[in-house]
Homo-oligomer: A and B are copies of this chain.
Amino acid sequence: MQYTISDVAKRAGVSTATVSKVINDKMYVSSRTKEKVLKIMNELNYTPNVSASNLAKKVTKNILYADRFYKGIPFKNPHMFDIICGAEDELSRRGYHLTLLNLDKDTKKIEQILEDTMTSKSADGMILNGALVTPRIERIMLNFDFPQICIGKPNFDTILSWIDINNSLSANMAVEHLLNLGCRKLAFMGGQSGDEIFIDRLRGFQIALQKNDIIVQEEFITYNEPDIDVIYNSAMQLLQSPNRPDGIICTNSLMAVGTMRAIKSMKLTMPDDIALVAFDDYPYTPLISPKPTVIEIDVFSLGVHAVSHLMRKIKDPATIIQTYTALPRLIKRETS
């Protein structure tokens, strides 16, 4: 049997209005009646029904995390779920819930899903994968005047709010590290040209080199498919060139595996012959030796920050947030 606010009111000999005030810790209730009410609430083990409270307050205390949650994606992209964990953490601290909104439905288009959920008023705001946002979706979001923040800058000019990793800055960090070690011929083991994260990191790489008056050698920048053999061969070519690099940055952990395999097969040693820095510990670092120096990015915190910004926006809907949150950390290990 569940008690309601009127059960409490009755037993405490006060009105439901007064009980409501102590529940919500409003001022203007005498400490005597407050205590009395609290005592009854305790005895009855009473907790307010949040649905009723939310309806009356016209809030939901609920935030949506909108992305594509299809089968297997946690294996492909665990980062996304670490962001979600960060968002959940910060939301629950603020008395909010995080519910998942799957934009990957064969029956409905993304636009339709978003419109329906916004009109149904089932959440106070939304965290949205920026990569999924189109100008058309931007318009829908603005029409509804629904508090939102994108994870990842949309790939067009927008007045939506977003928060993103500063990949360029992270690459800069890797470059500075290698330059400090005395490296002067830096190579970049990159992904494919459609991979925005890689492209940002590459840009950071290039800018950092220019800033240090080092010429960017085009042949030292490689574009690789995510296949271990392709990467290996690509690295071999780099290492066999008469003008061999003395420092290599790998855009992810798979690149690091392939590249280090090549370095070892050339009987070169790290960091003496060649220093190496990789992005992302995950998922292959446990497998490789020597342990690679790595730039780690705290995506959990990205989720936390996204929520903080979204909350500001809920309070003041006019706010626009567009910000890079860097949070890279260099973990120096055995390859540099």
Contacts and interface: CB of A to CB of B under 8 A. Distances in A.
Interface of A: 2, 45-52, 54-55, 60, 62, 69-75, 78-82, 84-86, 88-89, 92, 97-100, 102, 105, 116, 119-122, 228, 254, 257, 282-284, 286-287, 300
Given A99-B99, A300-B72, A121 B2 contact: yes
Contacts of A84: 69, 74, 100
A100 B88 contact: yes
Contact of A73 (B48, B85, B121): B85
Contacts of A282: 75
Protomer copies: 2
A149 to B, nearest CB: 18
A102 B300 CA distance: 14
Contact of A55 (B52, B78, B97, B105): B52
15 contacts: A2-B119, A50-B120, A50-B122, A51-B51, A51-B60, A62-B99, A71-B82, A74-B78, A75-B283, A78-B78, A81-B81, A88-B100, A97-B100, A98-B100, A283-B284
A49 B286 CA distance: 50
Given A51-B55, A89-B102, 18 more contacts: A2-B119, A47-B116, A47-B119, A48-B120, A51-B51, A51-B121, A70-B85, A71-B82, A72-B300, A73-B85, A74-B85, A92-B102, A98-B99, A98-B100, A99-B99, A283-B283, A284-B287, A287-B287
Contact of A69 (B80, B89, B99, B254): B89
Contact of A97 (B2, B85, B88, B99): B99
A37 B89 CA distance: 43
Contact of A71 (B69, B70, B300): B300
A80 B85 CA distance: 12
A49 B99 contact: no
